[in-house]
Chain A
Amino acid sequence: MAKANLGRRDFLKSAGIATLSLAAIGAGVGYLKKLHASDSKNLLRPPGARDEKDFIYACIKCGLCVQICPVGAVKLADIDHNLSYGTPFIDAREQACDFSCGALQCTETCPTSALNFYKFKDVGEAAIIEYVKEHPNAYQDPEFNPIQYQADKMHREVRMGIAKLNPSSCLAVQGKGFHGTPREQGFRGVYLSVNQGDKEACPVNDHHFDREICDLCVTECPIGDTAIVMKKTEENGAMHFRPEVLEGCTGCGVCEMVCPTSQASIVIVPKNQITEKGGEL
């Protein structure tokens, strides 16, 4: 009997210590969560990411999205990003998401739906139904590729963030052209350029540009003229140029990656930063 009591006392003592340490961990996490609210806004999350408050627990940090990405755009954050440790993000300047995977594979692979695929799936299916309604003979048409068509419609629904121009360094705003390869030597980023007729993702510096007025962000955009256009205005007989970001911008970051100025003149503002300010995305 005495021995049993001793065992129980021993257990209660260790359990007390355990509870205290758990409470300390809880308090620490609570504190970090407060810091995190502002910290995590700077991360550009992969396509379909839920709002940060849900995303942070929905993501189990398995890294399947990292592994499936064919261009290696998705990376895992380290503890310098606070509680985001182990969660995926995209560094668009280093490697943007160029949608060359075809069907938002990172989103599709996510087992916990932290990257929400349902939204895109519905859009894709609806688009196909719509198309077949309009073109009753679509499936007899050898040109029609339903998978490609669906994927294309799905990409356009992505809203990771939105591109923002920095006019003070933009070459087009200054009326300058661009000749050569966009990025510094040894840059390893790749993307699929629809404009250059690429079949698969190629290194950024494999593309050579000769532009009287630099418009790389406009021509290389995988979404096209619903996302960004070159606005031309005439003033006192001189032409003024300015890339303008439109509603269709997905925040993929290809413009940021190909921007030839030493500091990107167009950068992606992550969704979390915008929605916090009350904007809808």
Chain B
Amino acid sequence: MIKIKKLEPLPPKKKADLPNEKQGLSYKEWQHQHRKRHFWRNLRWSVLLFINIFFVVSFVFDIGLLEGSLSGSRLMGFYLMDPFNSFQQLVIGGETGYWVFLTMNFWIGFSTILIFYWLLGGRTFCSWICPYHFLAEWGEKLHDYLVKKKKIKERTLNRYLKYVFFAGFLLLAFLTQQLVFEDLNPVGILSRTFIYGPSLLVLWVLLLLAVEIFFVKRIWCRYICPIGATYSLLGNLSPVAVGFNLDNCGHCRDCQAVCEVPHVLWFVQRGKATKKVHFTTSDCTHCGLCVDICPGDALKLTLKGVNKLME
């Protein structure tokens, strides 16, 4: 059996080494200096809204540049397929022999998405494209407010749960020969709602949001969504990640407070980092909230490997 050697954590920083001391600021002053910075968030929301609105505009005005919905679309004649939908279809297709009928456009669209999001780092889709993420982000704010006011208790679940759902939904597809997940998928439901008009299933999306706000923070995105799980698996070897530089870190952990998936920033806690430079793992959605809030600019969206080449 191969044993992965665990690195010992580096010794914790001394007070004199903290970045605020170098700048000659008090810790509180230092920590609050970037509170109003929202560069990545604004850019990301613009992209998210642009793409979702562009689907609608393209259909309503019959421009034909971006057709379909987030379940499957065509960008200037070039097909793109939702990966989990495709997985479900391949599972059923393997069972019934249907996969031979899938068109070349399907395979092109499927592999394009896989390669694209492998390069961009898996869950980039979640925070930069997914319309449900946008709603859930506001839900999260409300949830945090309620927790702060002591109206509700904070609950967390195990983060590997999404892989249980990933396998479970594929198994369900196999057993029922039905794209089960697509009927529950808030991404598809919302996308279709915007483009083709509302459906009663929007109530299901609202129910999910209510659960996120009042019970478990970000329950869908963190613990259930198999699309996210697909992208997580895909992003494992991705070159894009949030890079961390220990020298600039003051261990305020504001980044973890704003992060959708705080475990990817495990190294910011005092005395945890094992190296001077760390990268987030594939659960990271590259939303950039931590990059914006980091008072010492210790966190940056980076291309792995490039920094080494530059030095």
Among B82, B161, B176, B183, the residue within 8 A (CB) of A26 is B176
User: Does A213 belong to the interface (CB within 8 Å)?
Assistant: no
How far is B109's CA from A56's CA once the two chains are assembled, in angstroms?
Answer: 21
Q: Report whether B67 and A22 are in contact in the complex, using a CB–CB cutoff of 8 Å.
A: no
Q: Which of B109, B165, B169, B183 has the most CB of A within 10 A?
A: B183
In the complex, B307 has a CB within 8 A of chain A: no
Are B89 and A25 neighbours in the complex by a CB distance under 8 Å? no
Among the 9-residue stretches B94-102, B283-291, B292-300, the one with 4 or more Cβ atoms under 8 Å from chain A is: B94-102
Interface residues on A, range: 35 or more
The answer to whether B168 touches A111, judged by C-beta atoms less than 8 angstroms apart, is: no
Query: When the two chains form their complex, are residues A14 and B176 in contact, meaning their CB atoms are under 8 A apart?
Result: no
A33 close to chain B: CB less than 8 A: yes
Are B182 and A61 in contact, CB atoms less than 8 angstroms apart? yes
Query: Would A60 and B179 count as touching, CB distance under 8 A?
Result: yes
Query: Which of chain A's residues 6-40 have a Cβ closer than 8 Å to chain B?
Result: 7, 10-11, 14-15, 18-19, 22, 25-26, 29-30, 33
> In the bound complex, what is the Cα–Cα distance between A53 and B175 (angstroms)?
14
Which one of B85, B178, B184, B188 lies within 8 Å of A33 (CB-CB)? B178
Query: Which residues of B lie under 8 Å from residue A30 when comparing CB positions?
Result: 176
B4 at the interface (CB under 8 A from A): no
**CB nearest to B184 among chain A residues:** A25
Of residues 198 through 247 on chain B, the ones whose CB sits less than 8 Å from some CB of chain A are 199-201, 223
Which A residues from 87 to 136 make CB contacts under 8 A with B? 109-113, 116-118
Given contacts A29-B180, A57-B177, A64-B74, A76 and B172 within 8 Å (CB-CB)? no
Nearest A residue to B156 via CB reads A10
- A54–B176 CB distance below 8 A: no
Judged by a CB distance under 8 angstroms, whether B270 is at the interface is no
CB contact between B92 and one of A57, A110, A118 (< 8 Å): that residue: A57
User: B69 contacts A63, CB within 8 Å?
Assistant: yes
Q: For A66, what are the chain B residues with a Cβ–Cβ distance below 8 Å? A: 196
Nearest A residue to B58 via CB reads: A67
Instruction: Give the most central of A18, A62, A64, A80: most B CB within 10 Å.
Output: A62
The reply to whether B176 and A63 contact each other, CB–CB distance below 8 Å, is no
> In the assembled complex, how far is the CB of residue B74 from the closest CB belonging to chain A, in whole angstroms?
6
Task: Find chain A residues with CB under 8 A from B102 CB.
Answer: 111-113
Given A22-B168, A67-B68, A86-B182, A61–B98 Cβ distance below 8 Å?
Answer: no
In the complex the two chains form, what is the Cα distance from A116 to B177 in whole Å?
Answer: 19
Q: Looking across the interface, which residue of chain A has its beta carbon closest to that of B95? A: A57
Q: With A67-B59, A76-B196 given, can you name 8 additional A-B contacts, CB distance below 8 Å? A: A61-B182, A62-B73, A63-B69, A67-B64, A79-B200, A83-B178, A112-B106, A117-B103
Which residues of B are interface residues toward A (Cβ below 8 A)?
59, 64, 67-69, 71-74, 79, 81-82, 85-86, 88-89, 92, 96, 98, 101-103, 105-106, 109, 157-158, 160-161, 164-165, 168-169, 171-173, 175-180, 182-184, 188, 192, 195-196, 199-201, 223
